[in-house]
Amino acid sequence: MTQADWIAVDWGTSNVRAWIFDERNEVVATASSDKGMGSLDPAGFEPALIELVGQYLPEAGTVPVIACGMVGARQGWVEAPYATCPCPPPGLADAVSATAADPRLDLSILPGVKQSAPADVMRGEETQIGGFLAAEPGFDGILCLPGTHTKWVHISAGEIVSFRTCMTGEIFALLSRQSVLRFAVTGDGWDAQSFRAAVSDAMSSPQNFSAWLFGLRADSLLNGTGVDVSRARLSGLLLGLELAGTKPYWLGREVVIVGAPALSDLYVTALAEQGVSARFMDGGDLSLAGIRAARAQMESRT
pLDDT per residue as tens, the chain (302 positions): 688 999 999 999 999 999 999 999 999 999 999 999 999 999 999 999 999 999 999 998 999 999 999 999 999 999 999 999 999 999 999 999 999 999 999 999 999 999 999 999 999 999 999 999 999 999 999 999 999 999 999 999 999 999 999 999 999 999 999 999 999 999 888 999 999 999 999 999 999 999 999 999 999 999 999 999 999 999 999 999 999 999 999 999 999 999 999 999 999 999 999 999 999 999 888 999 999 999 987 665 54
Nearest to 282 by CA among 252, 254, 260, 251: 260
Number of Cβ atoms within 10 Å of the Cβ of 269: 16
Contacts of 256 (CB under 8 A, 6+ apart): 132, 139, 141, 142, 143, 144, 278, 279, 280, 281
